[in-house]
Amino acid sequence: MKRSSFTLFLVLLMFLPLSGCISAKDKTDGKVHYTLGLSYLREPNYSLALKEFLLAAEANPDDPNIHLSMGQTYQLVRAYDEAEKSYKKALRLSDASFTPICQNNLGALYLDMKRWDDAIFYFTLAAKNLLFQNPEVANAGIGYAHFNKGDMLTAISFYKKSLESNPNYATARVRLAEAYEAFGKTDLALKEYQEVVKIAPNNPVIQFQYGLSSAKLGKKNQAVQAFREVIRIAPDSEEARLALDHIKLLQ
């Protein structure tokens, strides 16, 4: 899948109240800049988001929400060293309930940095924390780190653990399918893709992988249908171009 899938292991904040002992004016300024930053992050406009988060941090330097969102923005623009600094600062400032979010996002950052053991360490801390509301994200992250270390069996076990927490977590199902493919179990991979296209039917990358797995198992009609869905969903994409080539070969 595309590189952007790495960041699916992030827990993104929408809005959390600012904390700390600050003046009313600074609190208001910090809240405004923080809210604007989140809005730009969702657009996405990373340059403007980062500008607003930096202003928010000036107004309220001890708020972990700001530093976490700043870390997310740095990560998305691949400024990994700065992202690490921001995440670790957020972790130092966080309370018990916020700590596992910071740990999880450090794990996601280390996936991008290909620091697999560091990713496993922080994802494990988050996954074991009873206050963490998204253990499926952390467990899928652990699985992906093991996948990249070449340990398919461990990767599969953590993807399954992720899905025990949340059967509708599409990222874990896609990664489990990829692990099955790497293990030579295309039939099991196809079953996972069949489930994940129900969860995310309008994702062209997932539909494309579903088509490939179907074709490998000789299910030509199913493959063609999946490839046609790719073209319908994202007609100008690279996946659509490849899907059209595959349709010509299968018919």
pTM metric for this prediction: 0.87
The pLDDT tens digits for 148-179 are: 999 999 999 999 999 999 999 999 999 999 99
pLDDT at 34: 94
Q: How confident is the model at residue 9 (pLDDT cuts 50, 70, 90)?
A: confident
Q: How far is Cα 104 from Cα 145, in angstroms, rounded to an integer?
A: 13
The pLDDT tens digits for 109-156 are: 999 999 999 999 999 999 999 999 999 999 999 999 999 999 999 999
User: Residue type at 148?
Assistant: N
Q: How far is Cα 70 from Cα 52, in angstroms, rounded to an integer?
A: 9
Cβ-Cβ contacts under 8 Å for 70 (sequence gap 6 or more): 37, 50, 53, 54, 57, 86
Q: Tell me the percentage of the chain whose pLDDT exceeds 90.
A: 86
Cβ-Cβ contacts under 8 Å for 11 (sequence gap 6 or more): 101, 104, 105, 134, 137
Structural domains in the chain plus CATH codes: 1-133 (1.25.40.10)
Under 8 Å between Cβ of 66 and 57: yes
Burial 55-81 (b: 16+ CB within 10 A, else e): bbbebbeebbbbbbbbbbbbbbeebbe
